[in-house]
Structures are given as structure tokens and as C-alpha cells.
Structure 1
């Protein structure tokens, strides 16, 4: 059984205004997201190659009835899994072939990610921190762009958030309450793999491993419902990959060895993302604008408090 984390102590929660501890806070976040993400969502045409590509791929799913192999300009499209295209295709089925329908799934995934951050942040720290953290995410420049654009990344962001939040609650839960949250980890990481490939499990897996290593709690892995969880993960993630590999025998090699690991190692098949790893540092700071302006103050406060033991929530 884990000890209570001082970051979410009852005495601290008692100081939070009642509004932030109840569902009105979630309603305010939904209204904020609806205003920022849905306003004039379909008023402009598809504005870059990726938007046009993903919209056309999803439209072809509706027109051909083939929801297994994505096609772009008559050729199989192996760069991304089909999950996000399924969402866009379903939106086309409901609302027709419009720019609004094409972008609506991104807005919904973005809103769900904001609510997930509020939910987990409120439990990791306190309701006030959860609310303002979620509001900051909802209004950050890059997140607004992703929530108004036809790209797969917003679905990946949602499932990684759900995976990591579920893990932390599993880690903090007593043994008799851990299983539901632990199974949620496998469920959402499986959906992350469906959303954008192996990064959906490798990225949160790396975070979890480093956290447990730093806390000297690698033994927790043995209590992580590995057998049941792995079966659940495979039941979610594997069927579509099996089906598309049967239709396209070279798919697994091209997608995993070419598209994914090729991007990482910078070989010819992964040349679509030529930037070095440190490219993401200014990209992250710019993407979190205007809230990245608060980073110096946050680092200063963190330095002042560095002598105190770091809570599980802060480390995570």
C-alpha cells in the first residue's frame, strides 16, 4: 500500500473553493474548449497537405467501404494507423463531406484530453491545480492548433494522458483497488498504438520506467497485472494490424521498420521528419505559449523548494 502523497492532502483540498471540487469546473472547461475549438471550425478550407491527405483518406473509407487499409490518391497509405481516420470517416457519415465534419473529431479529442488532465490533475495535486492546469493546456497555442486541425497527434495526446494518469492512480491505490486503474493503463496504451503506432506504448512506458527507477520501485512491475493486461492490450491493439497485414503483406515492415523507426534513426524511409531531437525544445516552448512564459518563475520556485522531499506527483 502506498503512503498518502502530500501534494493531494485533505487539508490542502479543504482550502479549495467548492466550485473547483465539483462538476461545474468540468462544464466550464467544456464550454472553454467548445468556444476555442468549435468557433468557425469549418469556415476555412483545408489549409495544408496533411489536412487534405487525412481528409481524403477518411473520405475514401466512406466511399469504398474499406475501413481496414487507408488509401491516399489511390495508393495504400501506410504512414499512420487507421484509428483517427475512422473517427473522421464516422464524422463524414454523420455530417457529410464538409470541413467542419473533417475537423470535428480533433476538437472532440482535444476536449477529452483537457478533461482527462483536469480529472487526473485534481487527484494528483488538488482540484484548483487540476482546473488551471487543464485550462492552460486548453488555451496553449499548439494544442489549439492540434484541436482544430486534421492530424493524428491529438488522439495520441489523449491516450497518452489517459495511460499515464491511470498508471499514477494505480501506483497510488491500495492493492484491493489497483486492478481497474492498471487495466485502464493497458486499454489506453493499446488505443495509443492504434492512434499512432508503437509510440503510444513506448513513450508512456519510458516515463513509467524512469519514475519507478527513480523511486526504486521497479518491483511494482510485478504487481502490474502483466498477464491479464498484456492480453487486454493485444485484444485492443492487435486485430487491426493483423487485418491490414493480411491485406498488405509488406505493411508491418514498411510501417514499423520504415515509418516509425526510420523517423527515429533518420534513415531514408523516415526522411519526412529530418529535425534533430533538440528541435523539440523550442517547439515545446513555443507550443505552450503563452503559458511557457511562466516557466522561469516555476523553475525558480522549484529551486527554492528543492531541499524538500519531492512528492510522487511532482516527480511524475
Structure 2
């Protein structure tokens, strides 16, 4: 292994500060898994992506078709198939419910923390490895994505595994590690198409420029490695090509890759510096320490290739993603493990140097960042307690108190015992806040999340009224998932009349302005059942929906033109 500054590894020779690796692994893994799983079964799926993945998994399992994913009985060509296979395993273990479909992401997030812990021990020493695993386990964005039934936590695991393999290959020759790299790369492609390889390429390019290792390029066994990757990727891709007659690639490549790269689709554009700003907010408190860690790593990049490797991993994807027009913070998720490693290294290095953090370049700003962002967050939580519904006021007050106490204890321990002890306070307070969000705050929001409420109520009325559930303009994926089966989506009054004529009786959620239009329609008999009011997280607003039973009228008058309201 390339030489690391002896100052950084001195603690490994101190028996009084050793911890058995098994105990460390249990600590990191148990903390990550607890935070990732907490409350998952009590929180319904978040529109729009989670219900789509979960619904496609349910429909694939019901049909027995493991090749062709569908959602709401329509082809779903957004992503490759591996995530649906993994979610089928998750639902087999945890049930066909939010807990079951999120299980894969939760396990993948915890596994990533363990990989980072093990890697940190090898690269940077025992204490830095433990801190890195705990920092990643309590990073808010990592926990959030590990609680979501999407591809991102799983992709993060494959990418981190690939990076680990590249680092190990830069230190020694091993055909087994090369085979593992190509296997993980194949799994990454089968999870999210080219996202994994592209992020790895961007990391390697910037790493080379920063002085990181390049010897792994000669040890990847190019003669058979790509063939191993292709053996994982090609079978399903050939099968879906034949089943979809090429349409999968029109959607997956033409729309979700090319258009996302060249235009901001689905209102997901972003301003220059989007990932810098959002990363600082979604990875607090650890983001406050990153500028100092980046500068320290950059100034030491010639001392060891490990710094160039980590810098490339952090900066390379950032540059690439800033050039892509469609911007979402979880695109940058595979780079956060490098944050954890570099920050953990700096914390141990500062401790061993016996020089306070404020005397390191940008170190004083790190403490100020912590204080400033924490103050703003505490003020925001107190304001939320004032305006929030009664069920959430106590939670907001408790969270603000935890953040206040955590910030004060951080400064006390920082002054008395240094940055390492203060970092342990941040880990504890971040873990407690994340746990309370999962088991208290998010479940308390359920009555206000309208898509799940509408879907479940639609299922109840469908059974009671013996009517077929359909959707018009309110067609969130969460409604379909909560309903439990596909529902036709109807646009235009003439199409609605045709649907009612076929089914004889339908139940549909309508917006208030749509009800009088349909009641004036001579071909339909509209019977209002109830009114439901709730919060639409997808649109960020409160909405009112009216559940209505619609039948064909016995006397049909002259056909009316389509309304512009139901479209």
C-alpha cells in the first residue's frame, strides 16, 4: 500500500485505543440499518418515483413476467430491471408494503457504510475508518435515499464497491478483485444504465489530474473483464429489445438519458452550483467540515495517492453533473462516501497533530458554518412549531432542542477535547434527529399526504359500491399503488362516457371544478360520495378531492363536446 503520513496511522499502534473490528462492524452496521429502517412501514410511498417502482414490482410478481416491467398495466421503460428483481426479494421477505419495497435500499445503504468502514481502516487507519462509517450512516441525504424504494442507494453500493476494487488494484495485482470490479460494474449498469460507468469515469479523470493512482488500469484484465460485464448486462437487454420491439431504448436512452442531459425535464432544472448548495444543506452537519477537508487533502495530494483518489471521487461527479441540464440531488449520492472518508481522515489528522482545527486552513470557517447553519435550522424548526399542525408541534420543538443541545455540546467538547470528541457528539445528535424523523415526524404527516389517502379510500369505495375505480386528472402514482391494482386513466368527457358505458358504474376522484361540468353532462349520472382534503407533496400544496360514483343515464341526449377541464 502507498505510504500514508505516519502521523495519521499512529493511533493504530496504541493498544489503549483499539476496538475489535467485529464490534466496529456491528456498531456501524446496526446504526445504519436502524436509521434506514426506522418508520418505513408506517410511512406511505412518496410520489412520484417510489409508487412507480413498487407498483412495477407488484405487477411483475403478479404476472410472473421477469423481463417486461409495467406500471398501471403500461410498459415502464424508465430503468433497467435489476431493481425490480431485488424489490421482489424485499417484498418476499418484508411483505408487499412500503417496508418490503424499501428493504433493498435500506440494506444497500447499510452495506455501503460497512464497505466505507472497512475501506477506511485499510486506507486511513482504524479510527478514521470507524468515523467514516459512522459519518456516512448519519448523513441525512444518505439515510433519506436508503429509506426510498428507488435505484439510488443500490447504485451507490455498486459504485462504492467498484471504487474499492480500483483502489485495491492500484495497490496490488489480483484477478479476483478485477473480476469483482467487472461484476459490480455490470450490476450498476443493470440498475441505472450508464450512470455508474459515467460517474466512475469522471472520478478517475479528475483523480488522475489530482495525482491519484492510475496503475489499476493495467490490472483490470481487459481481455476478459468486459466480457464478464457483458455476460451480466446483455441477456436482459437483448430480451427487452425483442419484447419491446426497440421501444425500451427509445424511452430509456432517448428520453431518460439524452433528454435529461440536454434539457431540464419534469421541472427538474437547476441553477449553477445546484449540487454544491444542495449538498451542503442535505449533508449537514458534515458538509460544514468538507471545505477544510478538501483543502487539507488537496495540499497533501503529492504525499499519497489516496488524496488524489478521494478528491477525484468528490469533484469528478460534481463537475459532470453540473453540466447535465436535469438536476436532482440524489444523482450525486455515490460521491458522499468519499466525503465521509476525507472528513474522517481530517478529524483524526487534526487530533493527532495536536493543533486545533481553527488553525488549519478553512478550519475556523468549519466551526462557523456549523454554528450558522445550526442556528438557522433551529430557528426554522421553532417557526415550524408555530405554524405546523398540532400533531407536529411537539416534534418540531423536540428536534430544535436536540439540535440546540447538540450544537452546544459540540462546542464544549471541541474546546475541551478537540474535534474528534466533538465529532462524536455530532454523530450522536445527527443519529437521534434522523431516528425521530423516521419514527415520529414522517408518520405524523400521513393524514396530510393525499395520494395514499385517496388510493386507500378509493379501494374501500370500489368494494362497497361494486364500482370500478378509474382516474381522471388526479392520477398520481401513489393513488394507483395504494389502490392495489391498475386503474384506467381517462382523459376527456367522451372517453369518460365510453368508459362508464363499458363498466356501467365507476368510482373516481374529481377536483371540485370538475364535478359541476360532469353533472351537466346529459349522458352521465354523477353521485357525490364524500370530500377529502389533504396535502399534495408532489405539488407542494393542499388539495381537495371529491369521490364520485358515475353511472350512465337512462336517457342519453345529444353528445356534448369534450370539456377543457378534464383533459
Query: Does the alignment reach a TM-score above 0.5?
Result: yes
**Residue 309 of structure 1: aligned partner:** 302
Tell me by how many angstroms 1:256 deviates.
1.9
Whether 2:289 is the aligned partner of 1:291: answer no
Distance 1:12 1:60 in 2: 53
Residue equivalent to 1:145: 144
Q: Residue 246 of structure 1 aligns with which residue?
A: 242
CA distance in 2: counterparts of 1:115 and 1:199, whole angstroms: 23
Q: 1:272 to 1:82 in 2, by over 3 A?
A: farther
Give the CA deviation at 1:138: 0.8
The 1:72/1:28 distance shift into structure 2, 3 A limit, reads same
Q: Are 2:192 and 1:196 aligned?
A: yes
- Once the two structures are TM-superposed, the CA of residue 89 in structure 1 deviates from its matched residue by 1.6
Unaligned ranges ≥5, structure 1? none
Aligned position for 1:257: 254
Greater shift, 276-285 or 48-57, is seen at 276-285
1:126 & 1:32 partners in 2: Cα distance?
21
**Contact kept in structure 2, 1:7 and 1:125, CA below 8 Å:** no
Q: How does 1:79-118 map to 2 (within 5 A)?
A: 79-118=78-117
Give the structure 1 partner of residue 416 of structure 2: none
TM-fit CA distance, 1:247: 0.7
Q: Find out whether 1:133 has 2:132 as its counterpart.
A: yes
Change (3 A) 1:96 1:4: closer
CA distance in 1, matches of 2:300, 2:203: 24
What is the correspondence of 1:26-175 to structure 2 with a 5 Å cutoff? 26-173=25-172, 175=173
Deviations 1:6-61 (A, max 9, x none): 15887553247321x51210011121023212222201222322111111111111
The equivalent residue for 1:280 is 275
Q: In the alignment, is the contact (CA less than 8 A) between 2:158 and 2:185 conserved in 1?
A: yes
Whole-Å separation in 1 of the counterparts to 2:302 and 2:214? 20
Q: Secondary structure, in 3 states, of the residue corresponding to 1:81?
A: coil
The Cα RMSD (Å) is 2.4
Alignment deviations for residues 128-164 of structure 1 (CA, whole Å, 9 cap, x no partner): 1111111111111111111111111111111110001
For residue 58 of structure 2, give the secondary structure of its aligned residue in structure 1.
Answer: helix
For residues 308 and 121 of structure 1, the distance between their equivalents in structure 2, rounded to whole angstroms, comes to 17
* Conserved? CA contact 1:87–1:105, under 8 Å: yes
> In the alignment, which residue of structure 2 is the partner of 1:236?
232
Give the C-alpha shift of residue 250 in structure 1: 2.1
Gap regions ≥5 residues in structure 2: 310-567
Work out whether residues 170 and 179 of structure 1, in 8 Å CA contact, stay in contact via their aligned partners in 2: no
Number of residue pairs aligned between Structure 1 and Structure 2: 306
Q: Which has the larger radius of gyration?
A: 2
Residues 7, 124 of structure 1: 8 Å contact kept = no
**Does the aligned pair in 1 maintain the 2:112–2:157 contact within 8 Å?**
yes
For residues 162-185 of structure 1, give each alpha carbon's deviation from its aligned partner in whole angstroms, at most 9, with x where no partner exists: 001111011111x3xx22222221
What is the 5 A alignment of 1:220-235? 221-235=217-231
Equivalent residue for 2:463? none
TM-score, normalised relative to structure 2: 0.51
Q: CA deviation at 1:214?
A: 4.6
More helix by share: 1
CA contact (8 A) 2:91 2:97 kept: yes
Tell me the distance in 2 between the aligned counterparts of 1:118 and 1:150.
24
Is the 2:102–2:148 contact (alpha carbons within 8 Å) kept by the matching residues of 1? yes
Deviation at 1:301, TM superposition (A): 4.3
2:295 and 2:213 map into 1 onto residues whose CA distance is 29
